[in-house]
Structures are given as C-alpha cells and as structure tokens.
Amino acid sequence: MTGKCVEVRLREIRARYRISQEALAKAVGVTRQTIIAIENDKYLPSLTLALKIAAYFNLPVEEIFRLRESCRPSQMGRQQQY
C-alpha cells in the first residue's frame, strides 16, 4: 500500500460524475494505467497531478485525497520547543 496516510476517493468521485478512467486520464494528461494505479493505492500522484484531478472535477483536492486521521500532525498553535 503506497498511500497508507492518504485516503484516495478518486474511484468514488469518478463514479459520481460518471467519468471513465480513460476520459479522466486524457483530460489530465496521463495514461489510464496511472488512474488505475492511483485508484488501487499503488501510486500517489504528484501535487501537480492531484491538483489537475481536483480542478477537473472542480473540487478541493482534500475531497479526493484525504490525510488519514492517524497520520495528522499535532494541532497547530502549540508552541514548539527548539
């Protein structure tokens, strides 16, 4: 599992919008195999590709790629001791 800290909801989003893997791949400039690998948690996209995918669906990137609760850093605002 490549993205143990990242929950990928791409398959669900694609199904909601009735977009094929091929159509999405063509729109964002990758192969269908890349989309398959992302959906099967075999490959985490670059930030650029994640942003392109989010823009394609007109969604915030966090709606498609979510940081799992167990991987979140401690709360901001706490003073760090250096």
In the chain, the amino acid numbered 5 is C
Instruction: Read off the pLDDT of residues 26-82 as tens digits, 9 standing for 90 and up.
Output: 999 999 999 999 999 999 999 999 999 999 999 999 999 999 888 888 766 555 555
6-66 under CATH 3.40.190.10, yes or no: no
Start-to-end Cα distance in the chain: 34
Q: What is the pTM of this model?
A: 0.84
Domain boundaries, the chain: 6-66
Backbone phi, psi, residue 65, to 5°: -120, 110
Category of 76 on φ-ψ map: left (φ > 0), alpha (ψ -120 to 50) or beta? beta
